[in-house]
Structure 1
Amino acid sequence: MKLELIAAVGRNLELGRDNDLIFDIPGDLKFFARTTRGHTIVMGRHTFDSLPHKLPGRHHVVISRTMTSDDPDIEIFDSLEAFLEAYGPKDELVYGIGGASLYAQMLPYAGALVLTEVDADADADVYFPAFDANAWKATELGRQEENGLAYRHVRYERP
């Protein structure tokens, strides 16, 4: 498996508040959809619960000790370790989409980070884990401004 983490973050790695996104950027949501469509996405239960619906064109994996589902497009593992054991040998690109605790647990296994870096501070209660950007090879994928927010998409790859 090739694991990449994808997230939109503020200047201080802010992710969200009250189990919701903190930035209203429709263009970034489209970027997220284009990037993850056709791939497996892995998330914690709170992130899954925050989705308005299952995201089309993606296989959903949820890490949860309590969640159950009969939906064949939702696979549940009771731990990150169980997920890594099952998906590690697969030749597949998987995107980690949150939340904060799962990002922190997955960061050591990620080969790349696809971050939307929003040039703004936000009142957040969850944050993306701190990482040394200098230890990664950064490639800017583009810059935009929308709803008064300047942002850029950056791909960080382990050297």
Structure 2
Amino acid sequence: MNEGTYALTLITLILGIIGTVTGIGSLILEFYRELLNNYHLKLKVMKNMRGVNAAPRLKPDTDYIIFTIINTGRSPVKINTVYLRMLTNEKIKNYVLTDSFTPYIDRILTKENPATDYTLEQEGTKIERLLYVGVIDAYGKQHKLFVRHSLFRYFWKLYMRIKYKIS
């Protein structure tokens, strides 16, 4: 092999490596951009909250649990229904939050308006039995927004099933 062929082969190899690295980098960047462009929902739960000057919706002497749903992505999303999945003494039940049916509140989460609140009276509600908050968006997709981390949630659910003999 002469020096000219060797130099040409070396240049071709270097350009091939540069092209491969550039292609993989742009592919990773494009996947990252696509991931950011979708919507992602997160949950924030606040207990023992009271409404001040919130008439007529909230009673001033009542404690509430406020579920805040936050869109952390770039795409807008419309929230249709929010429900709670809870362990009861007999079995697992779903409870729809009545704030889901208020027609005058626009539940479209955008970059300018990324969060919406749902209220629930705290009296009689055992928040420690909450498995997750379910959100159904305008596309019909269901999102499970968990309050606790997964490993704790697994053992907690197992404990509740044993304690209340839920199958």
Same fold (TM over 0.5): no
Larger strand fraction of residues: 1
TM-score (norm. length: structure 2):
0.23
Larger helix fraction of residues: 2
Where relative contact order (Cα < 8 A, 6+ residues apart) is larger, the structure is 1
TM-score (norm. length: structure 1):
0.23
